[in-house]
Structure 1
Amino acid sequence: MTENPDTATVELPEVVRRYLRAHDAHDVPTTLATFAPGATVTDDGQTYEGTLALTRWLERTGSEYTYTTTLVGAESEGSDRYTVVQHLEGDFPGGTVDLRYRFALDGGLISRLDIAP
């Protein structure tokens, strides 16, 4: 992940930064450790809930396409909600996309993550 410090507008919590680094590195165990038990992820119109479903989602997203990410911006929507915008370029259909990662935190872990353009 490449960071653009001019557009990152808030200091992200460590768990969000750790998720972004681990997911970018396709490190499934470290990424999975950022989620609360029973966490939910919505990505590509599908919802994944719980450790087994999140593990399968992470394994698929880490191997399906090759891409690079650039942090475009981030904002806080309260003490436990953050939106991160990343620009992706790669061999997926369309080749480029800006994705919004909407994080909800609970007890220092990610309880919900919604990913959409």
Structure 2
Amino acid sequence: MSSITLTKAVQNFVTTTNAHDEEALFAVFAPGATVVDDGTTYATEDAVREWIRVHQVEPRIVITPTSFERNRLEASIDGEFPGGPLAFVFAFTTQGDLVSHLSIESA
């Protein structure tokens, strides 16, 4: 099986998501970052924190990367939710080693 090389910002996102650490996951986002998930845009610090808690930490999401190219991560997602694992595409915009925008869609 070949290894997938991720940028530092994306690797930090995957690692902290899989660790279920709300504060560490919030720290991978740049100030003013936005997240678009399931048709909803989270555009304030409070909204991004809520998204992290409700959609990443509480369901204990585990991301298993399957491919990565041009800041697009395809991954298998599992956790404490019905119907998993599911395939998703994460499109990242980064600012240095931080995520400034994240868009998530079903694959």
TM range (shorter): 0.7 to 0.9
Please say which of residues 44-53 and 86-95 is displaced more in the overlay. 86-95
Larger Rg: 1
Indicate the residue corresponding to 1:48 in structure 2: 42
- The equivalences for 1:45-84 within 5 A come to 45-61=39-55, 62-63=57-58, 65-76=59-70, 82-84=71-73
- Please name the residue that 1:113 is paired with: 102
In 2, Cα distance between the equivalents of 1:35 and 1:66? 19
**Structure 2 gap segments, 5+ residues each:** none
Q: How many residues align?
A: 105
Equivalent position of 2:2 in the other structure: 6
Residue 29 of structure 1 corresponds to 23
Overall identity of the aligned pairs, in %: 31
Q: Is the 8 A contact 1:87 1:98 kept in 2?
A: yes
Cα contact 1:7–1:74 (8 A) shared by 2: no
C-alpha separation between the residues in 2 aligned to 1:57 and 1:21?
A: 17
SS of corresponding position for 1:70 = strand
Instruction: Say if 1:50 and 1:91 are closer, same or farther in 2 by CA, change over 3 A.
Output: same
**1-structure distance, mates of 2:51, 2:75:** 19
Q: Give the structure-1-normalised TM-score.
A: 0.78
Amino acid at match of 1:34: V
SS in 2 for 1:94: coil
Cα 1:49–1:69 shift into 2, 3 Å: same
In 2, distance between residues paired with 1:36 and 1:89? 26
Partner Cα distance (1:47, 1:115) in 2: 10
- The question of 1:102 aligning with 2:66 is answered no
